[in-house]
């Protein structure tokens, strides 16, 4: 091993400029690959951040309008979800998969505090929702079971809504423990949640029982959310959704396959799809990166060919004194792989450094879209897996680059090479 590296070093040392120029192309290729993948990861982290926000095994259903005539009823009929649907989902039919079922009722309202007011959606919620949607609290607490039992008039506000109700430059937390007016009633602010940048809406949470009573909602619900288990594949999810849709539709006298009668939002399969999109973006970035690297590889192949040409005489000598063809092939291949790997690692290192730099600069900045701050890049970096994959790419690329020159070198015939010059 050491002998081969000595040989490579001797060869590279004689061609410093040429080697470093070609090496630069390889470094550049890997650098681009790493930066692209890093930035891609950052973008995906930023966009799909919402996806991580939810417990991925939840499904939400809500009412819609029928699109088919069924059971003597016309199409275009409104379906609203109600308490009996909760019973149905909780029931034996879906017991193998369904875990916890909660419902919400909501209404649009105007909230005011002092002279300031803002519109919000007031949602009657259960405490379990916090878990299911991974709602992050900035201060205070979420709705609890006592609130439900006592039908307390308490509210949990998103940060941006709270800020909208306060004088400029004050902290959302200042509203904690204060009473604000929502609609006709006064509510105690018990918690502040992080604003949901992805949804961009002002969802204020109050106890389910309170809202249901105040707004006299009867049996009607806005949506039903439940957690489930045992549905691992997209296919299993689809089948489950179909069964669920059929059961709920039939209860409302809608065609079992009517996809508009109720809507189902499955976060699990949505996550699967997001992951798929992420994977496609990743593949696209790899392809771009690899094509950039290709230029470097061609360069390495090129200088290796020149090297072989220059060293024909030397290879002839080596073969005359006993070098086997493989000894010569090995020499060129090893040189090619070494050049590619060394410069590749320089590029990889610089690429990772640049990702760090991106994180420190662009990663900290946000873009304002519709009053919402959206991060451009979140944690743009590549993992160990990419480093390992890139290493494999470098070794394979170096071998490919060296393959033809090495074969040419191995075919050198000693008598021709040694013919007096």
Partner 1 sequence: MLIELKDVNKTYNNGQPLHVLKGIDLSIDKGEFVSIMGASGSGKSTLLNILGILDNYDTGEYYIDGRLIKGLSEKQAADYRNRLIGFIFQSFNIIGFKTAVENVELPLFYQGVSRSKRHEMAMEYLDRLGLADWATHYPNEMSGGQKQRVAIARALITKPKIILADEPTGALDSKTSEEVMQLLGRLNREEGVTIIVVTHESGVANCTDKIVHIKDGLIGRIEDNRMHRASVFGADTIMK
Stretch that binds partner 1, among 229-237, 313-321, 338-346, 352-360 (CB under 8 A): 313-321
What x/- string results for residues 326 through 365 when contact with partner 1 is judged by CB under 8 A? xx--------------------------------------
Tell me: does residue 318 bind partner 1 (CB under 8 A): yes
Asked if 309 is part of the footprint of partner 1 (rule: CB under 8 A), the reply reads no
317 binds partner 1 (CB under 8 A): yes
Of 204-243, which residues contact partner 1 (CB under 8 A)? none
Question: How far is 189 from 408, CA to CA, in rounded Å?
Answer: 80
Helices within 218-371 (DSSP H only): 234-251, 267-310, 312-320, 325-360
Shortest Å distance, C-beta 15 to partner 1: 11
Nearer to partner 1 (CB atom), residue 256 or residue 325: 325
The nearest distance, CB 281 to partner 1, in angstroms, is 49
The count of other CB atoms within 10 Å of the CB of residue 137 is 13
Evaluate whether 225 touches 103 at the Cβ level (below 8 Å).
yes
In the region spanning residues 13 to 42, those forming contacts with partner 1, defined by CB under 8 A, are 14
**In whole angstroms, what separates CA 312 from the centre of its chain?**
53
Q: Is the dihedral of CA 334, 339, 342, 347 positive or negative?
A: negative
Please report, in angstroms and rounded to a whole number, the separation of the first and last CA atoms in the chain.
33
**Among 381, 378, 382, 351, which Cα is nearest to 362's?**
378
Binding of residue 312 to partner 1 (CB under 8 A): no
Residue 317 Cβ vs partner 1, minimum distance, rounded to whole Å: 5
Answer for which of 99, 128, 174, 314 binds partner 1 (CB under 8 A) is: 314
Q: Which is nearer to partner 1, 385 or 421 (CB)?
A: 421
- Long-range contact pairs involving 273-277 (C-beta distance under 8 Å, separation at least 24): 274/48, 274/51
- Of the listed pieces 80-88, 120-128, 315-323, 372-380, which binds partner 1 according to CB under 8 A? 315-323
Which of helix, strand or coil describes residue 369? strand
320, 357, 369, 388: which one binds partner 1 (CB under 8 A): 320
- Looking at residues 396 to 415 of the shown chain, list those that interact with partner 1 (rule: CB under 8 A): 414-415
Q: What are phi and psi of 103, to 5 degrees?
A: -125, 160
Distance CA(163)–CA(182), nearest Å, equals: 15
Residues that bind partner 1 (CB under 8 A): 2-3, 10, 14, 313-314, 316-327, 414-415, 418, 420-421
């Amino acid at each position: 091993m050491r002998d081969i590296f000595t040989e490579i070093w001797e060869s590279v040392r004689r061609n410093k400029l040429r080697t470093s120029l070609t090496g630069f192309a390889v470094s550049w290729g890997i650098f681009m690959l790493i930066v692209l993948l890093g930035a891609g990861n950052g973008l995906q982290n930023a966009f799909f951040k919402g996806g991580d926000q939810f417990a991925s095994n939840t499904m939400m259903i809500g009412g819609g309008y029928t699109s088919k005539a069924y059971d003597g009823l016309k199409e275009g009929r409104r379906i609203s979800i109600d308490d009996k649907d909760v019973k149905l989902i909780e029931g034996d039919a879906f017991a193998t998969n369904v875990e916890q079922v909660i419902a919400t009722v909501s209404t649009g309202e105007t909230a005011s505090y002092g002279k300031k007011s803002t519109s919000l959606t007031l949602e009657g919620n259960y405490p379990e929702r916090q878990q299911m949607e991974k709602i992050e609290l900035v201060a205070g607490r979420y709705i609890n079971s006592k609130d439900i039992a006592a039908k307390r008039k308490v509210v949990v506000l998103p940060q941006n809504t709270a800020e909208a109700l306060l004088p400029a430059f004050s902290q959302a937390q200042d509203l904690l423990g204060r009473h604000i007016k929502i609609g006709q009633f006064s509510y105690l602010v018990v918690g502040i949640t992080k604003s949901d940048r992805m949804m961009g809406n002002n969802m204020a949470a109050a106890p389910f029982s309170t809202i249901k009573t105040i707004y006299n909602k009867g049996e009607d619900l806005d949506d039903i959310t439940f957690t489930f288990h045992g549905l691992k594949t997209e296919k299993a999810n689809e089948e489950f959704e179909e069964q669920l849709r059929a059961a709920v539709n039939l209860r409302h006298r809608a065609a079992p396959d009517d996809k508009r009668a109720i809507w189902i939002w499955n976060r699990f399969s949505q996550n699967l799809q997001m992951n798929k999109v992420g994977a496609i973006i990743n593949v696209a970035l790899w392809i771009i990166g690899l094509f950039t690297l290709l230029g470097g590889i061609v360069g390495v192949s090129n200088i290796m060919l020149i090297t072989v040409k220059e060293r024909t005489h030397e290879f002839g000598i080596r073969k005359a004194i006993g070098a086997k063809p493989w000894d010569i092939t090995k020499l060129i291949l090893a040189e090619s792989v070494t050049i590619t790997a060394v410069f590749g690692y320089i590029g990889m290192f610089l690429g990772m450094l640049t990702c760090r730099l991106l994180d420190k600069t662009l990663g900290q900045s946000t873009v304002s879209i519709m009053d919402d701050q959206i991060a451009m890049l979140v944690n743009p970096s590549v993992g160990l897996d990419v480093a390992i994959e890139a290493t494999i790419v470098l070794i394979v690329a170096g071998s490919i680059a060296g393959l033809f020159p090495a074969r040419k070198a191995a075919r050198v015939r000693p008598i021709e090479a040694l013919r007096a010059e």
